Amino acid sequence: MDDHLTGWLATLDEDRLARLLANRPDAIAAPWPRRLDALAQRLTDNFAVMEVMRGLPLPPLELLQACLVIGGRPTEDELARFLGVSTSEVIPWLDRLYDHALAWPGRDGRITLAGAVARWWTAPCGLGEPLGAYLDSWKLGTEALRRMCRAIGVATPGGRRQLVARITGLLSDAERLGPLLDEAPDGTMEMLDDFAWDGPVRSVHGDRFVTPGTPEKWALDRGLVFHTQWDLAEMPREVALALRGPDYHGPFTPYPPDLATTPADPATVEFEMCLAAPHVLDRATALLENVDKTPLPLLKSGGVGVREIKRVAKETGSSEEETRLLLEVAAVARLIALDDEAGGLAATDRFDAWRLEETPARLRILLAAWWRMERSSLRRNEGRYPTLLGDDPAGETVARIRWAVFAALAEIPEGRGFATLQELVQRVHWRAPLLDKELAADCAPAVLEEARLLGLAACDALTDLGRALAALASVAGDESHDSVPEVEHDPALAKCSTHALASAQRTALFGADLTAVVTGPPSVELASLLDRAADRETQGSASVWRFSPGSVRRALDAGDGAESLLGELAEVGTIPQPLAYLIRDVARRHGEVTVSSVGCIIQGSDPALLAEIAAHRKLARLGLRLLAPTVLAGTAPAAPTLAALREAGYAPVPVDDTGEITVRREPAGGRLIVLPGGRVAELDPPATLLEPPPDPREHARRLLVSAGRSGPGGQTWAVIGRMASRLPAAQQSLLGFVVDRDVRAHITLADGVTATISHGELRSGVLDAWCEEAGDYLEFPLNEIASVTSTH
């Protein structure tokens, strides 16, 4: 089959081959193939073919099923006849299959399918295995076939092949089958019709297949059905087609179902996007800061309980829906993760780096995480939300449904929105028919609600932000990816995210009644400042904060000073005199009583010994001070204090603490950034953008140029043996496997340079192979290769 595909690929021009490669980026991923035969092998990879089929709409998949039913290698005309349409209606969708290398035409005009296609459908068009698969079975001997021939009234002389041909000829011919069915006992036609239209495999009562006179026994004796298991029976493909009659045609739906639309004011859609985007970033920041302070405990069965969700929602002023969605998105983005020491979900170092990013970049990280998230946060099951961060058996399918919903919405013209959810789900099924239709209908409302909260949809239409994200389904990644730079750094998404956040308000109106009003969505920085020093009372198109002695004291407790806080507030608005008086008055009383934090407590019964330890010069770094004659307080935690005391010659023992010791996350090294409240974070280096994706046209041009080029073929070993003279025989053999079997190996050249190579070709005394370190094909002179070792 690969040879047939290679021959067809060789007939394509540059434009057609480039179009095929653009549809199949998996085929030109590094190390990219250099010959058409290697390309054909990649294009027919079973897993790759099934992945491509998942992304196709209904019509080309119906064509594939029709080809499987017809069998062999049908022509375009035969395919059109089976479907009951003109050949001109079939050709555009056949070209879609050709452009994905799921099928290709031969020189004789007949269509060949990729091998993996047949593995997807066990019953194409609801039809079973060909009759020959049952008649050729070892379970049916020649005498059994003769009995079947006698039962249907055909000749019995001849060998097995002749008997099978006669049975097949009669049972697959509707006209010849009619007289036979006229002799059937009562109830037989109803039973056969059930198999023909709702089969091919059906549950049965096994005893009816061994009881003379029953419809099942009569049909079994004549090869109309086959009893494969005691409680299962199957009908062959030819019999079912004959029973369906000459007027039956395979399903073919070249046009998508109607999707009624309603007006959606573009200005309103944009306003909702610009309102939701800053809000979701503000709520995500508040939720993550809350988790940073108080880790989320997990249920014994896994996931986060409803009580914790409601607690976090209340403490942050978020809705339960926002809390569920954003916590799951943050987990996929690796902003929170399970911390055994903290006893639950805690903020990660990645969160510290995330909060220092530009606001559009922060938003894109959240959107990219939602785009690849393999669960639906707001999907209800029997009226209840699923367990937060619990296992979802649908998994990857949920993400694919999300992409299909967005693809259907992206087809709706701007200024219009879908009219009914039912029609939208039908359009989604037409676009992605291999997805579970019931699950899609179940998930679609949740997808739309989540998209609305994230600023991706409004007024039953996609926003500009949603349209930019809809175009990135092919590079969405999955939950196993920590990040997806192709999405997070996509130029169109970056432009839309900047626009969505541009209208965020950066100033507030401070009132003499100790309120701050923001008329519009507040920026993350403004909301963070006001949340630090005031209590949020309302939020929406306008948000209101109220200052109080308690809220100001909270800001001072976090490390702010009165003048520094007033200075920050003055940068975002005019401070009225009552607010300035409040802040300075609270600051005046702040610190009248102090509370110190200690790393550990040292106790002893001998006051002289503790005084000696406190005065010990080698222990000065522990920050020891006497609280009482028999009690020392130290700034260092218990473990280093124990080690230092033992190093100094003492013999301390650890005891249970009566108070809780808080252990802060420590940066692993690198550049340190001071965060609000005096915490320190390590800023990871900025993510390196990936290399641009392979250019399909460039690869098409290169493949066509090399199509006529041939390597040494069977001379591999002779060439290596003659030219790679520095290598012993065993290493020459390994180098031969690099050429003939694409084995991966380490090589060292005479000048000491090393490389990891694979996919080699011999050409003019050099080994042209893929070099992993260079990320490209390089030439290595055979006479300069000093050693070859296996990578395993």
Higher-confidence residue: 456 or 531? Answer: 456
Residues 376, 399: Cα–Cα separation, whole Å: 8
Evaluate if residue 454 carries a pLDDT over 80: yes
- What per-residue confidence (pLDDT) applies to 673? 37
Burial 759-792 (b: 16+ CB within 10 A, else e): bbbbeeebbbbbbbeeeebeebebebbbbbeeee
d(CA 299, CA 305): 6
Q: What single-letter amino acid sits at 348?
A: T
Strand partners, 754: 748
Asked whether 556 and 531 are in contact (CB, 8 A), the reply is no
- Of 311-325, 349-363, 499-513, 519-533, where does mean pLDDT reach its minimum? 519-533
Number of H helices, E strands in the chain: 35, 25
Interior angle at CA 746, CA 744 and CA 749, nearest 5: 135
The CA-based dihedral angle spanning residues 355, 358, 359, 360, taken in that order and rounded to the nearest 10 degrees:
-130
User: What sign results for the dihedral spanned by CA atoms 618, 623, 626, 630?
Assistant: negative
pLDDT of 687 above 70: no
Q: What is the mean pLDDT of residues 678-690?
A: 42
Per-residue confidence band for 242, with pLDDT thresholds at 50, 70 and 90: very high
pLDDT band (50, 70, 90) for residue 656: low
Q: Is the pLDDT of residue 427 over 70?
A: yes
| Neighbour tally for 160: CB within 10 Å | 14
Q: Residue 540's pLDDT is what?
A: 67
Model confidence pLDDT, tens digit, residues 506-523: 888 988 888 889 887 788
What is the pLDDT at residue 20?
94
Strand partners, 346: 337
**If you average pLDDT over residues 379-396, what whole number do you get?**
83
* Cα–Cα distance measured from residue 466 to residue 468, given in angstroms and rounded to the nearest whole number: 5
- Using the predicted structure, report yes or no on whether residue 675 has a pLDDT greater than 50: no
DSSP sequence for 712-776: -GGGHHHHHHHH-TTS-HHHHHHHHHHHHS---EEEEETTS-EEEEEEEEEETTEEEEEETTTTE
Q: So what's the pLDDT on residue 29?
A: 86
pLDDT at 138 over 60: yes
Q: Distance between CA 353 and CA 409 in Å, rounded?
A: 34
Burial state string for 396-434 with b = 16 or more CB within 10 A and e = fewer than 16:
ebbbbbbbbbbbbbbebeeebbbeeeebbbbbbbbbbbe
Beta-strand ranges (E) seen in 534-667 are 535-538, 543-546, 600-603, 625-628, 631-634
What SS3 class is residue 386?
Answer: coil
Query: Confidence band (pLDDT; 50, 70, 90) for 592?
Result: low
* C-alpha count within 13 angstroms, C-beta hemisphere, residue 679: 19
H/E segment holding residue 267: helix 266-293
**304: helix, coil or strand?**
strand
Buried b (16+ CB within 10 A) or exposed e, 201-212: beebeeebbeee
Q: How far apart are CA 97 and CA 101, in angstroms?
A: 6
pLDDT band at 483 (very low <50, low <70, confident <90, very high): confident
Q: Quote the pLDDT of residue 261.
A: 94
Mean pLDDT of 81-99: 94
pLDDT mean over 683-704? 67
Token digits for 255? 């046009």
As a whole number, the mean pLDDT across the chain is 86
Structure tokens at 497: 């995210």
* DSSP calls for 145-199: HHHHHHHHT----S-HHHHHHHHHHHHT-HHHHHHHHHTPPTTHHHHHHHHHHH-
Q: What is the pLDDT of residues 574-585, one digit of tens each?
A: 889 888 888 888
Output the pLDDT for position 100: 95
Closest alpha carbon to 441 in 401, 470, 412 = 401
Q: What is the pLDDT of residues 710-755, one digit of tens each?
A: 444 457 878 888 888 888 888 888 888 888 877 889 999 988 889 9
How far apart CA 763 and CA 669 sit, in angstroms, is 48
Predicted confidence at residue 66, as pLDDT, reads: 94
Please state the rounded mean pLDDT for residues 666-690.
39
Look up the pTM and report it. 0.76
- What is residue 512's DSSP assignment? T
Q: Is the pLDDT of residue 283 over 70?
A: yes
Spell out a b/e string for 243-271, using b for 16 or more CB atoms within 10 Å of the CB, else e: bbeeebebebebebeebebeebeeeebbb
Nearest 5°: the CA angle 567, 570, 576 is: 120
My answer on whether omega of the bond before 31 falls inside 30° of 0, hence cis, is yes
Instruction: Give the dihedral sign, CA 271/277/280/281.
Output: negative
pLDDT for res 452:
96
**pLDDT (0 to 100) of residue 2:** 64
Segment 192-201, tens digit of pLDDT: 999 999 989 9
78 C-beta neighbours (distance < 10 Å), count: 17
Judged by average pLDDT, the poorest of 23-27, 111-115, 302-306, 555-559 is 555-559
**Are 561 and 553 within 8 A, CB to CB?**
no
Higher model confidence: residue 560 or residue 78? Answer: 78
How far, in Å, CA of 459 to CA of 306, rounded? 30
CB 67 within 8 A of CB 111: yes
Average pLDDT over residues 521-532: 83
Examine the pLDDT at 655 and tell me if it is beyond 90.
Answer: no
At residue 105, does pLDDT exceed 90?
yes
Tell me what pLDDT residue 590 has.
75
Least confident of 59-63, 79-83, 352-356, 452-456: 352-356
- Residue 311's pLDDT band, with cuts at 50, 70 and 90, is very high
CB atoms within 10 A of CB 368: 28
% of the chain with per-residue pLDDT over 70: 93
The residue to which tokens 């701050």 are assigned: 516
State pLDDT tens for residues 317-332.
889 999 999 999 999 9
Predicted confidence at residue 708, as pLDDT, reads: 57
**pLDDT on residue 657:** 52
Has residue 526 got a pLDDT over 90? no
> Which pLDDT belongs to residue 586?
86
Largest Cα–Cα distance of the chain, in whole Å? 117
What is the model's pLDDT at position 440? Answer: 92
Q: What is the C-alpha to C-alpha distance for residues 387 and 376, in angstroms, rounded to an integer?
A: 11
Helix residue ranges, H only, 396-474: 396-410, 421-431, 437-453, 464-470
Contact in structure between 278 and 502 (CB atoms under 8 Å): no
520-524, 614-618, 652-656, 703-707: which has the minimum mean pLDDT?
A: 652-656
Say which residue the tokens 């041909």 belong to.
165
Question: Is residue 82 predicted with pLDDT exceeding 90?
Answer: yes
Helices 491-502, 266-293: crossing angle, 10 deg rounding = 90
Query: If we measure between CA atoms, which residue out of 350, 305, 321 comes closest to residue 446?
Result: 321
pLDDT at 562: 85
